[in-house]
Amino acid sequence: DSAGYLGNIGSFIGGVVGALWSLVSVLLFYVTLRLQQKEITLQRHELEMTRDEIRGQKEQMVLQNQTLVQQNFENTFFHLLKLHNNLVRALDLRDDQSRAVLADGRACFLMYYKRLETYVVLSSQKTGLAIDKADIDSTIGGYVQFFESNRNNLENYFRSLYQLFRFVDRSDVTISSSYAQFILAQLSSHELIILFYAGLNKTDGIKLKYYIEKFNLLQNLDTNLVFNQAHIQAYANQN
């Protein structure tokens, strides 16, 4: 029967078409998924690039900030150092009567050392000891008298030096010890020996002694200038 035959053909064609549409739908769904995955991958890649760019910008900002901190520190440091050196250059020692200049600048510290030696001799004589046997108490007694007689110059010198090391110590610069060594390189042997006995003076020298020890300022100390070699061990034992 032709009607049944056509019906079977129609059913067959309808089934094939339905199957094809189902296959097309699956393929379209798969293609859509693949496109979405590619889009997501691209978005992730762009996001990573954006993150890398932001990270790079942050790192650059950190470096720029570190550079700025370093520059600001160095500007202030060398300004303070210049002020300190100007103070040293302005030092002068004069004859009490004629007012003639006996020494100026760093050369004053040789005379300061000789003056200190005189006061220590006078102080140690009270205990009947020669200067190379002078005990700590008589030596510091002589130092105190020496300092008081030269307070006008030495007080400003010590205060300036203390503030310079204090600034270096409190800075954010990681190599602060290098700048402290830069200061040390400019100190004369007689400056160092005066610092040594200032550090032994518990009353006035204790603050400066902290920086003397922290930055190892006495590493170049000429021990031949120490009045009594026992003073070196006494300095090391002092709290």
Element holding 92 (H helix, E strand): strand 92-94
- Report pLDDT digits (tens) over 12-35: 565 656 666 777 777 777 778 788
- Report pLDDT digits (tens) over 102-127: 899 999 999 999 999 999 999 998 88
Element holding 102 (H helix, E strand): strand 101-104
Give φ, ψ of 101 to 5 degrees.
Answer: -75, 120
On whether the CB atoms of residues 175 and 182 are closer than 8 A, the answer is no
* Rounded-to-integer distance, Cα 126 and Cα 197, Å: 19
Residue of 81 and 19 predicted with greater confidence: 81
- The CA-based dihedral angle spanning residues 51, 57, 59, 65, taken in that order and rounded to the nearest 10 degrees: -150
- Report pLDDT digits (tens) over 42-64: 877 777 777 777 676 676 766 66
Please name every residue paired with 101 in a beta bridge, in sequence order, or none if there are none. Answer: 94
Stretch 64-72: mean pLDDT = 79
pLDDT at 104: 93
- Report pLDDT digits (tens) over 156-176: 999 999 999 999 998 876 677
User: What pTM was computed for the model?
Assistant: 0.71
Please name every residue paired with 93 in a beta bridge, in sequence order, or none if there are none. Answer: 103
* Rounded-to-integer distance, Cα 124 and Cα 138, Å: 5
